[in-house]
Structure formats: structure tokens, C-alpha cells
């Protein structure tokens, strides 16, 4: 049996030498290491600290599915993120996570989400009125607002006040940036505390919770039903018949805001940039959406039959997966394919690299939506845009429905032209776009 020492190692001095580059964008550094060291390597990030990076899809399946009981999320999510968003479905572990997942799963079932689709569509169409034609614009802020407003309306219908939601959006984005600073500049932890920078962001989280509590209290007091996500969450019950505590409910809502709008706005932005570079796919989506527009076709059927649009979105998320890393820590010692991992090893699975692995994908750097013409299930062992296994994103259907409507509605109204040299990225907690400059022209046909 191989030992942990046999896993190729990137030394600490190399990590420190490239630390400024890593702070801006760690992906080129990791790619170079994968190319030189193979599909799994160990990166020394301190004298006594190391992280195992891998793009081995069989190893990912083993950890996320086959032996998932021996693996938990890392401190990044179970501690660092918790202080900003609480202990909800994304950040909890063990029995608490099992109870929450079982309880919340019905609220995100396709049948339940069907009641939200028309509201989604109305919000999306309304947000597109903010697009200026025949002018170069950075599309990300528009799509970020669109995704945030879609989550707001799906959660709260009309109960949320505009100023409160603007403040909530500011807080979620400010705290994500702060978390990135903490993770990439751990040597400044003393300064974040001394300067009270960390305290300021913790107070922002408390403010967000106060805003959400007032919305929940108003809904409970009103006695009205809106059939939105808040109603669904208020009505969910554990096996003993009890509902969620108010604190737990607010944790879950914060998670939905943070994870729900961030990943969707990123994915949509990259998709529109790719469509701008490949206008023939704009026309295919337009023709498909038009062909499904009959009066007797309900919105859920229309969305479900939008296969071309789904192919484009799947390929976009292959090239630019919003959740571009998956982290795990093993509870007990484990072995895989000749590699030994002592308990407590930090593992980072590079979804970005798995989705571009030259041994797994034909023309891995090319935009080829047709590769998904039989659906994404064909690639289930190597394609993880929403994770895999029991902890696969609970909101994957919500996100896909929203994105299909958003893409189809936009290309039905506009033709998209690129005004950028190349698609650029900013890897933070999620993979964010950078300088997504597009020009929109009203579509006449």
C-alpha cells in the first residue's frame, strides 16, 4: 500500500512564490500543478498545513457517493461560512443535515416549483426592461439583480420592501468578499480582528437576520397564503410534527439567498457571453422557444421541452461551473487507488479541471452544446455542476427552470453581440465573470 508521502507534492516555497497570483486567480497555478504532478497532488500551504487537490473523477465519485459517510465538508463551510449565514442545509452536517434535507426536499420538488414559474417569468421579463440596446454594457450587474429578485419573489412574493432587499443584497455580497479575504489571506487574521473588520461583517449578518425576521413575523401575523417558498418552508414538518424554529428558518433563507442568486447570476452571465461568441445557438434557442409558445402549452411544459436551451446551459456550466471546487475532509483513515489519506485530510475536488479534463472530454476547451443532446446523465460520472451524491444541490431544479426561462426570454427579445476580447473570470467562493461586456440589439425576427 502506498503511503501519503507517495502523493506528488507542491512545496511551500512554490506556494509562497505564487501567492499574489493565487490571490487574484488560483486556477492557472492549479492547472500547472495538475499538468506536472498528475490528477492528484498535495499542496503545502503552511509548515504543518496541506491540501490535497484532485481532478480524478473516480475519486470524486468515491468520496461524494460511494463512501460519502466517511466524508464531511471542510471548516470553510462548517465554520467560516457559518458565521455569516448560519447553520442551514449548505453548512450543517450529520443528523442535523439529514433532518433538514428530508424536511425541505418536498418544497423543491418539481411539482411544487411549478407554482413559482409564472412569477419567475414575470420577474425576469421585468428585469430585462433595464437592458439598454445598441450600447456596450456589463451584463453581470443586470443578471445579478435579476437572479436576486427572482429569489426574492419566489420566497416572499410581494412581502419584501425594496430598500430591505437592496440592503440584503449588499450584505450577502459584502460578506462573501470578506470570506474570500479570510480564506486567501489567513496571515491577516490578526488584523481582521484588531481592525474590527471581521466584527463589522458579523454585524452585517445580524442586520440581515433582523430584516428576514421582520418579513417572517409579518407573514405569520397576516394569515395569508401566497404559495411561495416561504409558505412552503413555514409548512414543512419534521417527523415529530414540529416545524422549523425561527432561527433555523432564517438560516435556511440566508442560504437560499447566498447560494441561490450568486451561482445563477454567474452561470447566466457566462452563458450569454458564450452565446455572443456563438450566435447560431441564439437562433436555435429562439426558434425552439417560439415553437413552444402555443396557447395550450403551459409554462412548465414549455420549460421542460426546451432541450436546446438546456444543452447550452449544461455546456456553459461545464466550461464555467459556478461551484468550481468541492471540499471534503475524511473522518477516518481512507485509501483510494493506492493513495492513503489520514483522518482529517483536506481534499479539494476541482470541478473546473474535471470538466475540462482532456482524457474525459472531446475538445474540452471548445463550446459544443451538442455533446449534451442526450442529456447530462450520460456524463454523470464526470460532470458535477450541482455536486453529486446525497449533498447534491437541493435547488438544482429551481436554478435550471429559472435559467431556461431567463435565456429563452432574452434571446427572444434581443440579439447578443460580444464586446470583449475573451471570457475572463474572477474565482471567489464561486466562479464569477469579469468584464462581461455585451451589446444588445432588439430582435426583429
Is there a domain that residue 17 lies in? no
Residue 4: band (very low, low, confident or very high) from pLDDT cuts 50, 70, 90: low
- Quick check: is 8 in a domain? no
Q: Measure the CA–CA gap between 319 and 367, rounded to whole angstroms.
A: 8
Handedness of CA 418, 401, 143, 410 (dihedral sign): positive
Per the structure, the complete domain to which residue 116 belongs is given by 55-442
Residue 38 lies in a domain: no
Q: Measure Cα distances from 45 to 13, 14, 29, 190 in Å.
A: 9, 9, 13, 18
Rg (CA), the chain: 22
Q: Residue 15 CB: number of other CB atoms within 10 A?
A: 18
Of 120-124, 171-175, 220-224, which one has max mean pLDDT?
120-124
pLDDT tens across 361-405, in order?
999 999 999 999 999 999 999 999 999 999 999 999 999 999 999
Closest by Cα among 213, 253, 258, 218 to 232: 253
From the list 437, 435, 369, 442, the residue with the least C-alpha distance to 411 is: 442
**C-alpha angle 403/409/415, rounded to 5°?**
110
Give me the chain's average pLDDT, please. Answer: 92
| Segment 300-359, tens digit of pLDDT | 999 999 999 999 999 999 999 999 999 999 999 999 999 999 999 999 999 999 999 999
Strand partners, 159: none
- Domains in the chain: how many in total? 1
78: pLDDT confidence band, cut at 50, 70 and 90? Answer: confident
Q: How many angstroms separate the CA atoms of 434 and 423, rounded?
A: 8
Ramachandran quadrant class, 363 (left: phi over 0; alpha: psi -120 to 50; beta: rest)? left
In a domain, 15, yes or no: no
Which CATH number covers residue 407? Answer: 1.10.630.10
Q: What is the pLDDT of residue 5?
A: 53
> DSSP character for 387?
B
The predicted-structure confidence for 98-112, as pLDDT tens digits, reads as follows 999 999 998 888 888
Q: In 3D, which of 349, 347, 377, 441 has the Cα closest to residue 134?
A: 441
Q: What is the pTM of this model?
A: 0.93
16, part of any domain: no
DSSP 262: H
Count the alpha carbons within 13 Å of 383 in the hemisphere toward its beta carbon. Answer: 19
- What is the per-residue pLDDT for 47? 86
- Grade residue 87 by pLDDT with cuts at 50, 70 and 90: very high
Residue 311 lies in a domain: yes
Strand partners, 431: 427
**Among residues of the chain, what percentage have pLDDT more than 90?**
71
Quick check: 95 pLDDT over 80? yes
pLDDT score recorded for residue 1: 45
Residue 245 lies in a domain: yes
In a domain, 25, yes or no: no
Amino acid at each position: 500500500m502506498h503511503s501519503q508521502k507517495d502523493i506528488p507534492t507542491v512545496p511551500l516555497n512554490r506556494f509562497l512564490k505564487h501567492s499574489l497570483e493565487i490571490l487574484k486567480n488560483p486556477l492557472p497555478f492549479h492547472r500547472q500543478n495538475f499538468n506536472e504532478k498528475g490528477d492528484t497532488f498535495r499542496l503545502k500551504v503552511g509548515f504543518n498545513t496541506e491540501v490535497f487537490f484532485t481532478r480524478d473523477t473516480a475519486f470524486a465519485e468515491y468520496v461524494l457517493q460511494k463512501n460519502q459517510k466517511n466524508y464531511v465538508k471542510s471548516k470553510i463551510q462548517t465554520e467560516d461560512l457559518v458565521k455569516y449565514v448560519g447553520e442551514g442545509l449548505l453548512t450543517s452536517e450529520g443528523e442535523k443535515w439529514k433532518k433538514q434535507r428530508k424536511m425541505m426536499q418536498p418544497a423543491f420538488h418539481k411539482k411544487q416549483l411549478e407554482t413559482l414559474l409564472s412569477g419567475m417569468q414575470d420577474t425576469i421579463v421585468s428585469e430585462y426592461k433595464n437592458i439598454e440596446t445598441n450600447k456596450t454594457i456589463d451584463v453581470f450587474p443586470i443578471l445579478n439583480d435579476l437572479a436576486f429578485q427572482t429569489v426574492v419573489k419566489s420566497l416572499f412574493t410581494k412581502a419584501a420592501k425594496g430598500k430591505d432587499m437592496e440592503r440584503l443584497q449588499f450584505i450577502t455580497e459584502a460578506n462573501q468578499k470578506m470570506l474570500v479575504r479570510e480564506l486567501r489571506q489567513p496571515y491577516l487574521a490578526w488584523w481582521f480582528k484588531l481592525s474590527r473588520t471581521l466584527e463589522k461583517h458579523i454585524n452585517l449578518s445580524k442586520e440581515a437576520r433582523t430584516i428576514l425576521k421582520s418579513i417572517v413575523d409579518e407573514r405569520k401575523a397576516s394569515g395569508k397564503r401566497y404559495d411561495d417558498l416561504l409558505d412552503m418552508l413555514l409548512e414543512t414538518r419534521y417527523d415529530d410534527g414540529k416545524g422549523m424554529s425561527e432561527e433555523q428558518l432564517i438560516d435556511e433563507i440566508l442560504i437560499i439567498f447566498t447560494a441561490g442568486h450568486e451561482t445563477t447570476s454567474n452561470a447566466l452571465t457566462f452563458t450569454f457571453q458564450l452565446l455572443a461568441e456563438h450566435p447560431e445557438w441564439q437562433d436555435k434557442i429562439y426558434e425552439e422557444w417560439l415553437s413552444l409558445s402555443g396557447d395550450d402549452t403551459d409554462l412548465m411544459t414549455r420549460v421542460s421541452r426546451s432541450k436546446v436551451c438546456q444543452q447550452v446551459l449544461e455546456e456553459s456550466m461545464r466550461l464555467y461551473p459556478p461551484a468550481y471546487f468541492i471540499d471534503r475532509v475524511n473522518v477516518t483513515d481512507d485509501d483510494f487507488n493506492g493513495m492513503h489519506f489520514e483522518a482529517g485530510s483536506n481534499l479539494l475536488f476541482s470541478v473546473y479541471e474535471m470538466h475540462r479534463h482532456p482524457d474525459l472530454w472531446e475538445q474540452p476547451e471548445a463550446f459544443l452544446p451538442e455533446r449534451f443532446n442526450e442529456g447530462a446523465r450520460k456524463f454523470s460520472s464526470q460532470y458535477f455542476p450541482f455536486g453529486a451524491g446525497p449533498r447534491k444541490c437541493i435547488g438544482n431544479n429551481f436554478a435550471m427552470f429559472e435559467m431556461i426561462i431567463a435565456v429563452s426570454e432574452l434571446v427572444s427579445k434581443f440579439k447578443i453581440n460580444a464586446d470583449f476580447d475573451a471570457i475572463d473570470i474572477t474565482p471567489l467562493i464561486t466562479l464569477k465573470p469579469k468584464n462581461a461586456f455585451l451589446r444588445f440589439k432588439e430582435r426583429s425576427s
